[in-house]
Amino acid sequence: MFKTILTVAITVFMVLFALNNFDRVTVHLLIGKSVDMRLIFVILLAALAGYLLRHFIGITREEELKRRLLLERKKRFQRKSQPNLDDEFDL
């Protein structure tokens, strides 16, 4: 029941936000061409671009951490697999 009420409240908030940002704005693209878009679309495109950028940065960090973890496991395994020669010779 709580999730339903929360979903309805967030949906109402988003609809009111979209209605308040329905003005047209001029966006200048990198190629020098200007495009007339609604402000809500500019906001949504910026949010999407930020999410995708964060996602791809997270993927590269995750791969780097996986590599470090595998190297650490290899080192630990090599240390365990080496025989301890000090125990064989008592002086």
Range of the domain at 35: 2-81
Q: What is the DSSP string of the chain?
A: -HHHHHHHHHHHHHHHHHHHT--EEEEE-TTS-EEEEEHHHHHHHHHHHHHHHHHHHHHHHHHHHHHHHHHHHHHHHHHHHS--GGGT---
Asked if the structure places residue 10 within a domain, the reply is yes
- Residue 87 has a pLDDT of 57
- Domain count of the chain? 1
Q: Is residue 33 part of a domain?
A: yes
In this predicted structure, what is the pLDDT of residue 84? Answer: 61
pTM to 2 decimals?
A: 0.56
Would residue 90 count as lying in a domain?
A: no
Q: Tens digit of pLDDT for each residue in 16-73? A: 888 888 888 898 888 888 989 999 888 889 989 988 988 888 888 888 999 999 999 9
